[in-house]
Every structure is written in structure tokens, then in C-alpha cells.
């Protein structure tokens, strides 16, 4: 037993607490289940129909919330979505535990393929 575990509470029986995720005015959150991953996607309705799609990808240790200030500034130019990479923000860890750059890139590609929104304007920060 680890020194950080209480004898009466095993790690496998502890249910993580769900944190409160900030959602800015005009934003929506949804979960998207894909093979091996579940992604939380933050979106804003575009100012008008027919705008080109944009996908925002946060950096290491970030989340889709990193894009909440930029998304409304561009809502007259693009149809915005920002995702939480697996294990970040409100997205649970990937089933295979792969947190590599390749694993994150694969998650973005899986989402784009499933959403059928491409081609997209891809915005990234740092790792994103």
C-alpha cells in the first residue's frame, strides 16, 4: 500500500470528484465519444451561417478554456470549436494512457474525421 493511501480507502474505490468547468456566455460544452477517447468540445454559435470552421487546440496543461477570450472576437469570421485534449480540461484520460504528441494529434484527427467539419482553420498554442 502506498503511503498516500488510507488503509480503509483503496484507490480503486475512490470516485474522482467532478469539478466545475467554466463556460463563458454564449459557449456550449458537449462530450464526443470516439474509439479509445472521449473529448469535451467547447463551441460558440457563429455570427452567421456558412462561415468556415475553425478548431482551437490548447497547449500542454491547458484546456479549451484558453480560447474563450478569442472565440467571440472571431465569431464573425469562423465557426469556432475548441477541444480538451484527452486527460486535460474536462476530457477524461485516453483509454490507452498515451499522452504523447502523436497520441494527441491522433485525437485531433479522429475528432475532425468524425465531425466532418474539415478542412478547418487550425489554431494551436504551444503543444497544440
For 19-66, write each residue's pLDDT tens digit: 567 888 899 999 999 999 999 999 999 989 999 999 999 998 899 999
Determine which helix (DSSP H) or strand (DSSP E) holds 115, and give its type and residue range: helix 101-115
Question: What's the half-sphere exposure (Cβ side, CA atoms, 13 Å) at 27?
Answer: 25
- Distance (Å, whole) CA 41 – CA 63: 10
- Distance (Å, whole) CA 86 – CA 32: 11
- Distance (Å, whole) CA 80 – CA 120: 10
What is the value of pTM for the model shown?
0.80
Complete domains list, the chain, with CATH:
28-124 (3.40.50.1820)
Amino acid at each position: 500500500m502506498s503511503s498516500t493511501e488510507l488503509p480503509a480507502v483503496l484507490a480503486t474505490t475512490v470516485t474522482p470528484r467532478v469539478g466545475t468547468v467554466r463556460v463563458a456566455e454564449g459557449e456550449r460544452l458537449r462530450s464526443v465519444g470516439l474509439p479509445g477517447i472521449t473529448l469535451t468540445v467547447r463551441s460558440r454559435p457563429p455570427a452567421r451561417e456558412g462561415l468556415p470552421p475553425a478548431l482551437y487546440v490548447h497547449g500542454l496543461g491547458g484546456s479549451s478554456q484558453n480560447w474563450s477570450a478569442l472565440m467571440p472576437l472571431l465569431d464573425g469570421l469562423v465557426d469556432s470549436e475548441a477541444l480538451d485534449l484527452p486527460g486535460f480540461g474536462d476530457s477524461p484520460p485516453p483509454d490507452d494512457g498515451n499522452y504523447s504528441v502523436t497520441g494527441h494529434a491522433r485525437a485531433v484527427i479522429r475528432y475532425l474525421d468524425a465531425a466532418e467539419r474539415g478542412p478547418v482553420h487550425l489554431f494551436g498554442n504551444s503543444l497544440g
